[in-house]
Amino acid sequence: MRELAPGIHSLGGRKGGHVRAFLLETASELTLVDTLFESNGAQVLAAIDRLGRRPGDLKRIALTHAHRSHLGGLAALKHATGATVLGHAWEADIVAGDRAAQPVGLKPTRPFKTYPFQLGIFLNRPRHVPCLVDEGLADGDQAGPLQVLHLPGHSPGHLGFYWPERGFLVAGDAIATWPRFEGGWPAFTINRTQQVDSLRRMAALEAPLGGVGHGDAVAIDAVGRLHGLAERAASR
């Protein structure tokens, strides 16, 4: 667990493509964004304990999208905490196990370290433990302290979250820093026009701190780096 800023904790290791989850603390409650790859939720529960909180303090689990690396601990964490599960309606039946994730191509694409995940989507393996989404989220909604941003391109129901008081943006898989810094893994961008719009929208927030789905958060010159990403993506 790494505290990126007061009350903003980054969780995750190398598993799931260096996937990250974010545990967010306010005076009265906890909010989790995404659930890491492992299906036991242990890393999240240990983090809650280290903060001196109880599992029941986790009021909501907000999902960026329904790719396996982000859903691993969901069912276990829902069971252990009773948190409300929130996600975009387009992704909800994938989370529930009723539908496979939107296909991506099989053509090997740089950076090749992401290829196992491309293959995983094609084969729909490994599966996550299905879990119901309790409430749908749409652009402009509020999820605890977070503003909900609909940021499609990587998946149709992909969400980002913004915590205005702390200047913290969760970009989900719309931005990656592992294996390299870019506007989402190229092989996974299923709609380039939407993805460019999503990058522009995130850059316009001018957030000083940007959590991403894979790799370490963008903490230094986040404003400049996000503008650069959006400009490069638009000019391609």
Q: List contacts with Zn ion (CB under 5 A).
A: 67, 69, 173, 213
Rounded to the nearest whole angstrom, what is the least distance from the CB of residue 112 to Zn ion in the complex? Answer: 16
Instruction: State which residue, 61 or 145, has the beta carbon closest to Zn ion.
Output: 61
Instruction: State which residue, 145 or 172, has the beta carbon closest to Zn ion.
Output: 172
Q: Tell me the C-alpha distance between 209 and 193, whole Å.
A: 25
Instruction: State which residue, 94 or 145, has the beta carbon closest to Zn ion.
Output: 94
Residue nearest to Zn ion (CB): 67
Instruction: State which residue, 25 or 61, has the beta carbon closest to Zn ion.
Output: 61
Rounded to the nearest whole angstrom, what is the least distance from the CB of residue 153 to Zn ion in the complex? Answer: 11
Rounded to the nearest whole angstrom, what is the least distance from the CB of residue 187 to Zn ion in the complex? Answer: 11
Q: Tell me the C-alpha distance between 17 and 215, whole Å.
A: 8
Rounded to the nearest whole angstrom, what is the least distance from the CB of residue 155 to Zn ion in the complex? Answer: 6
